[in-house]
Structure 1
């Protein structure tokens, strides 16, 4: 039997359709928001831990940017060699300059990595805030009629897509991947200034990781129905299509 609706009248079949539509869209929005929020939570944990790791390395390496202590010791060594072995003075000065250049590059890579990882944290926090506002509008129970709820939800959903919120959330991990490889580059550069054996092992491991990443990124552009699709692989695919159109 029909239950009485507004104004004491039995609800029409059209009203039931709007109720069903409102329930379906609310369920869809809850699932979408929950999935994106879970991804952002995972990204926040990893980005925060990675930022802490990079910060530990930066704390140890950034004093080399000033070069005060190394410059003083180099000057003293050069003065001593001028008295004993003048021919070695140029060699010591050159090696001191090379070390300063390495320190600049290593710190530049690590500081860039730290900034990108912190930007990822910032982006994830912003996305969680946007999701909260979206959920507040689309998933909360209001006194509006089902038809009005569906209309309001559609306006919000269209705005959500127009401003590329899901796309921003999708490409935040790519920024963190860039930060990771910048850290790898600085790490390899550092170990090559310390020990050749350790540098070879570290470079080999980083090279394997880089090769695996590049392979899984590029393969979807050359094979149909490849299961290795990712945001960065789609980006490479779109870029390859643009290049093919140009040439």
Structure 2
């Protein structure tokens, strides 16, 4: 009886081990870690391609989704602030409705207290000729800033949707078909300048901040010159600091102040150097022509036309 029990236990353990080994074999057959002997070189190529593409897409999506989320939140808050200030200052574009009432009440008071036959109004009602130039400029820059921030918010929402669609994976078809569809999506990103669109949104938001600062300076210039001077100094300092980061990151690519604008300037400088190297005669002729014009302008000679 004891031998029978041990035999049954051994058989059950053998069955468990066999089932586990079968599961391991099935897992290895389905995985891409160990290449199968019956696979062709193209299947192995597309398996490797999908692994590399998944890693690249994961980093690409994490980077730009985080950037779009931050841009969307900041643009939403900035739009709310700009819209509030615009609603408070929009009355400056039209005539004050209380001015006519104040002048009329003042003239009535003067006429009631004047017992003479000839009554001369103390405050004449002058015709309104429109808002001042400072008000027009401040409102122009303010509403331009509001429109730019709204466009940034819209662009961030659309970009988030496009990134989600790019992330969607189609499980139908073979490994080669899935790899080709992914490559088609990636080629579309490159052909239609999707990265340029994503990186242009923060630049548009920075332009909106610049316009908002200019509008504040223009508005305060008509109200109080000292406050306007302080605002102009702070805005100029911020603008110079931004220009410094762009110039430094353009000249020194290893600097931490890298921005999309500096990347664009670096690429433009590389293309210009490449064009100058490939066709030096044209650039030398242009340089000689510019030097000649500068020399004639400096010493008062006539231009050789």
**What interval of TM-score do these two structures reach, taking the shorter chain for normalisation?**
0.7 to 0.9
User: How far, CA to CA, are the matches of 2:249 and 2:79 in structure 1?
Assistant: 30
Q: Does 1:120 align with 2:120?
A: no
- Does structure 1 conserve the Cα–Cα contact (< 8 Å) formed by 2:95 and 2:130? no
**Displacement after TM superposition at 1:84 (Å):** 5.5
**Helix, strand or coil: the match of 2:47?**
helix
Partner deviation per Cα, 1:17-51 (whole Å, 9 max, x = no partner): 42232122122112211211111001001111111
Larger radius of gyration: 2
Structure 2 partner of 1:55 = 83
Q: Does 1:168 align with 2:200?
A: no
Structure 2 partner of 1:66 = 94
User: How far, CA to CA, are the matches of 1:67 and 1:117 in structure 2?
Assistant: 29
> Where in structure 2 are the equivalents of 1:196-207 lying within 5 Å?
196-207=225-236
**Helix, strand or coil: the match of 2:173?**
coil
**Helix, strand or coil: the match of 1:188?**
helix
Of 192, 207, 213, the match for 2:221: 192
**Displacement after TM superposition at 1:167 (Å):** 1.0
**Displacement after TM superposition at 1:10 (Å):** 5.6
**Helix, strand or coil: the match of 1:12?**
coil
Pair 1:76–1:203, CA change in 2 (3 A): farther
Query: In angstroms, what is the RMSD of aligned CA positions?
Result: 3.6
- Does structure 2 conserve the Cα–Cα contact (< 8 Å) formed by 1:33 and 1:131? yes
User: How far, CA to CA, are the matches of 1:145 and 1:56 in structure 2?
Assistant: 55
> Where in structure 2 are the equivalents of 1:12-27 lying within 5 Å?
12=39, 14=41, 15-27=43-55
**Displacement after TM superposition at 1:163 (Å):** 0.7
Pair 1:153–1:219, CA change in 2 (3 A): same
Of 71, 75, 82, the match for 1:43: 71
Pair 1:76–1:212, CA change in 2 (3 A): farther
Structure 2 partner of 1:135 = 167
Structure 2 partner of 1:154 = 183
User: How far, CA to CA, are the matches of 1:74 and 1:186 in structure 2?
Assistant: 30
User: How far, CA to CA, are the matches of 2:30 and 2:259 in structure 1?
Assistant: 51
Using the size of structure 1 for normalisation, the TM-score is: 0.78
| Structure 2 runs not aligned, ≥5 long | 1-24, 111-119, 277-282, 291-305
- Does structure 2 conserve the Cα–Cα contact (< 8 Å) formed by 1:3 and 1:11? no
User: How far, CA to CA, are the matches of 2:121 and 2:80 in structure 1?
Assistant: 47
**Helix, strand or coil: the match of 1:53?**
helix
- Does structure 1 conserve the Cα–Cα contact (< 8 Å) formed by 2:94 and 2:131? no
**Helix, strand or coil: the match of 2:223?**
coil
User: How far, CA to CA, are the matches of 1:231 and 1:209 in structure 2?
Assistant: 18
Pair 1:104–1:70, CA change in 2 (3 A): farther
User: How far, CA to CA, are the matches of 1:133 and 1:102 in structure 2?
Assistant: 47
Using the size of structure 2 for normalisation, the TM-score is: 0.65
Pair 1:42–1:72, CA change in 2 (3 A): same
**Displacement after TM superposition at 1:98 (Å):** 8.7
